[in-house]
Amino acid sequence: MLSGNVYPFFTDWALRMLLRWAQQDPVSEKEINRNEAIYGIQKNRNPFVDYPGLEQYIWGSYTDVAFSYDNYVQPEATGISEVHKALAPSADESVYDLRGQRHEGRLQKRGIYIRQKRKILVR
């Protein structure tokens, strides 16, 4: 998942997955309440809860926009399609494991695999 470099820290597949996850699972009221409760005890906050879309300023389509706490504007688009187009060669029938390794042929081993953005569970 980690690429071993300084930036963007993640492998291409992990970055695409995390940006897609952020888009498909927006900050909930439960997460906001938890963030407030943690701040009450520890006096620290999760900036990704306080600033939905912050991941776009770090890794997505807003990397060329200066982030400002005072003038924060939540990104309208996530830029996932742009990242996907730039990093994924094509959408085919390839199957990948959760480490991003491509598997050819029948899946013999138990595990979770991804094909065309769908999870495949082999028992």
- Could you give the dihedral angle defined by the CA atoms of residues 6, 8, 21 and 91, in that order, rounded to the nearest 10 degrees? -130
Q: Mind giving me the DSSP string for 88-107?
A: -----S-EEETTS-EE-S--
What pLDDT digit, counting tens, does each position of 82-107 carry? 443 334 444 556 777 666 677 776 65
Same-domain check for residues 27 and 2: yes
Q: Which two tokens stand for residue 71?
A: 């003038």
Same-domain check for residues 41 and 79: yes
Q: What is the pLDDT of residue 102?
A: 75
Range of the domain at 71: 1-88
Are residues 122 and 95 in contact, defined by beta-carbon separation less than 8 angstroms? no
Same-domain check for residues 73 and 109: no
Same-domain check for residues 40 and 63: yes
Same-domain check for residues 67 and 112: no
* pTM, rounded to two decimals: 0.56
Helix axes 12-24, 80-87, angle to 10 degrees: 160
For residue 15, the tally of other CB atoms under 10 A from its CB is: 19
What pLDDT digit, counting tens, does each position of 66-76 carry? 888 787 788 87
